[in-house]
Amino acid sequence: MGEIVFIGLGLNDEKGISLRGLEQVKSADSVFIELYTSPMPNFSVKRFEKISGKPLHFVSRKELEEENGEALLETARKGKVALLVPGDPLIATTHIALRLQAEKLRIKTSIVHGASVLSAVMGVSGLHSYKFGKNVTIPFSDGILSETPYNVIEQNKKLGLHTLCLLDIRTEEKRYLSIHESMCTLLKIEEKRKKKTVTMNTLAIGIARAGSENPIVKANSVRKLLKYDFGEPPFSIIFPGELHFMEAEALIFLAGAPKSVRKYVK
Amino acid sequence: MGEIVFIGLGLNDEKGISLRGLEQVKSADSVFIELYTSPMPNFSVKRFEKISGKPLHFVSRKELEEENGEALLETARKGKVALLVPGDPLIATTHIALRLQAEKLRIKTSIVHGASVLSAVMGVSGLHSYKFGKNVTIPFSDGILSETPYNVIEQNKKLGLHTLCLLDIRTEEKRYLSIHESMCTLLKIEEKRKKKTVTMNTLAIGIARAGSENPIVKANSVRKLLKYDFGEPPFSIIFPGELHFMEAEALIFLAGAPKSVRKYVK
């Protein structure tokens, strides 16, 4: 009977995988990899093939989403397939769909977890995990202005909660939504609403390259962050709600926030 | 100048660490480990010492929290210290406090992320990450009935969101709050409130040993889950809000939920 092991690559590069993940890759009959659901700009296929001793077969968005992973499932009927994915596997809907498909075909599935940006941003920012409300992805605007991210930030703020904003990516086109562009989009919606959810003076945290050797975590007003150069992707933004005393200290000492953030402590 | 690298051990056992984490351990002058902030019942110090070639120095809750990690900070003034922690580092408040302390003493700090139960439970349950509201820890009741977890579940449900409940642990006493006990506590509060947040018929997902080789993910009514034997810890519970079509399918095919969960699809 066949088998698919979904293996998380963790963050940044080929060293983000766990020892268990690498062990599973080594014992697999075929190893597939997708690198489009989340950006891993520093991942080297060549170096990973050297570490694991296995050739990697790329799977594209088209193969997984339009063709429902047929080629991969066909291989998995005959042996053990390892599917490498960025971050922690099965956070992306497309992996859940593939897993469901496999189980329906009586192909055994299992998961080897990896570090995810979802918990990494909590760690690097020093904010408490239980104070985050629902997260949201800010999409490329491309003419259409989605108000969902703004509404999510607003709803979380009302409850005193932090909002993690993931920024859209189009890995195939190598396009990454920037912190600057995302903030401009939110400010445009603010203008229409005449509210006080995301203004020039709102406190925000811009995060670049969490999990790499040179992450940037910068807490300041939207006005200041708009001018800040965050360098290379991937990016995310946190809009904090009410702060715990220690969260304010963390923002000041670890993210360069002005001492005035202490006024948000509740 | 000194340095502390906070390294996530990921989930379950000594194979949860990333290749980058292991590399950092090997290059450290001293390696400390704490295993009390989160349970890793299958972690073997002996096996880890063999893999890494480094002796591990245990740090207790007392040393980190009452003595503010003084001994560790003193060692870190003179060289590179690796601090191994369960899951993803700096999710626990005590690590943030230590990191702040180090930075104030001009000891350089950095993070190597690991898999966290926060994203792992999303993956194993097949629920979508952006539909989770704030998470909450259910404490041991020990005479005092905290209503916070109930209130968090209620608030999230009103917004159509899922709630991840982490269950309290006292690693030093080897005590783990069970799924059964947690649900009984919530039902007791429900009785006082006469509401419909957590009843015998409420859909819940019990999760045991996420990240291990034998995880259990069981979706059913509270009534059914109360009778289910989840085996060894660690445990967590998810109370789902509204379901996406594919979330319902995942619960049915991956977590044994009755087909009637499709009625929660919105």
Residue-wise pLDDT for B213-226, tens only, equals 999 999 999 999 99
pLDDT of A254 reads 94
Confidence check: pLDDT of B240 > 80:
yes
Establish if A87 touches chain B: CB-CB under 8 angstroms.
yes
∠B116-B121-B122 over CA atoms, to 5°?
A: 105
Total number of residues shown for chain A: 266
Of B103, B114, B249, the CB nearest to A254: B103
Question: Average pLDDT in the B167-196 region?
Answer: 91
Nearest CA in chain B to A254: B100
Torsion from C-alpha of A74, A77, A79, A81, nearest 10 degrees = 60
Listed in sequence order, the DSSP H helices in chain A are: 19-26, 45-52, 61, 70-78, 93-104, 117-125, 148-158, 179-193, 222-226, 245-255
Q: Which helix (H) or strand (E) holds B72?
A: helix B70-78
pLDDT over 90 (residue B153): yes
Strands B169-170, B175-176: pairing is antiparallel
Please enumerate in sequence order all residues whose Cβ is within 8 A of that of B121, keeping only pairs 6 or more positions apart, or say none. B164, B207, B210, B236, B238
3-state helix, strand and coil shares in percent for chain A, rounded to the nearest 5: 40, 25, 40
Phi, psi of B214 (to 5 degrees): -130, 60
Residue B266 contacts A where some CB pair is shorter than 8 Å: no
User: How many Å lie between the alpha carbon of B38 and the closest alpha carbon of chain A?
Assistant: 14
What is the model's pLDDT at position B195? 78
* Per-residue pLDDT, B190: 94
- Reply yes or no on whether the pLDDT at B15 is more than 80: yes
Interface of A with B in 2-31 (CB under 8 A): 8, 10-20, 22-23
Say whether the ipTM exceeds 0.90: yes
Q: In B, residues 206-235, which contact A (CB 8 Å cutoff)?
A: 210-211, 213, 215
Question: Tell me, what's the pLDDT at A65?
Answer: 87
For chain A, the C-alpha Rg in angstroms (whole number) is 20
**Residue A155: DSSP 8-state:** H
Model pLDDT, residue B86: 96
Per-residue pLDDT, B145 = 86
- Residues B70-114 have pLDDT tens digits of 999 999 999 999 999 999 999 888 999 999 999 999 999 999 999
What integer pLDDT is reported at residue B159 of this predicted model?
A: 97
- The structure's pTM equals 0.96
Question: What backbone phi and psi angles, to 5 degrees, belong to A183?
Answer: -65, -40
With a pLDDT cut of 90, the percent of chain B lying above it is 86
User: How close is the nearest chain B Cα to the Cα of A227, in Å?
Assistant: 26
CA distance B208 to chain A (A): 14
Q: Give the position of tokens 């005959």.
A: A78
Q: Yes or no: say if B37 and B10 are a contact pair by the CB < 8 Å rule.
A: no
Asked if the model's pLDDT at residue B194 lies above 80, the reply is no
Task: Say whether pLDDT at B1 is over 80.
Answer: no
Mean pLDDT of chain B: 95
Model pLDDT, residue A92: 86
- Contact criterion met (CB < 8 Å) for A16 and B17: no
Record: contact A90-B249, CB cut-off 8 A = no
Residue among B96, B113, B210 minimizing CB distance to A211: B113
Interface test with B, best of A3, A5, A19, A112 (most B CBs within 10 A): A19
Cβ separation B90–A11 shorter than 8 A: no
Percentages of chain B per state (helix, strand, coil), in multiples of 5: 40, 25, 40
Yes or no, beta carbons of B122 and A210 under 8 Å apart? no
Q: pLDDT value at position A171?
A: 79
Closest partner CB to A99 (pick from B16, B159, B254): B254
Nearest beta carbon to residue B18 from set A18, A104, A129: A18
Answer whether A136 touches B (CB < 8 Å): yes
CB contact under 8 A, A126 and B96: yes
pLDDT tens for chain A, 266 residues: list them. 799 999 999 999 999 999 999 999 999 999 999 998 888 889 999 999 999 999 999 999 899 988 889 999 999 999 999 999 999 999 888 999 999 999 999 999 999 999 999 999 999 999 999 999 999 999 998 778 899 999 999 999 999 999 999 999 987 788 999 999 999 999 999 998 877 899 999 999 999 999 999 999 999 999 999 999 999 999 999 999 999 999 999 999 999 999 999 999 98
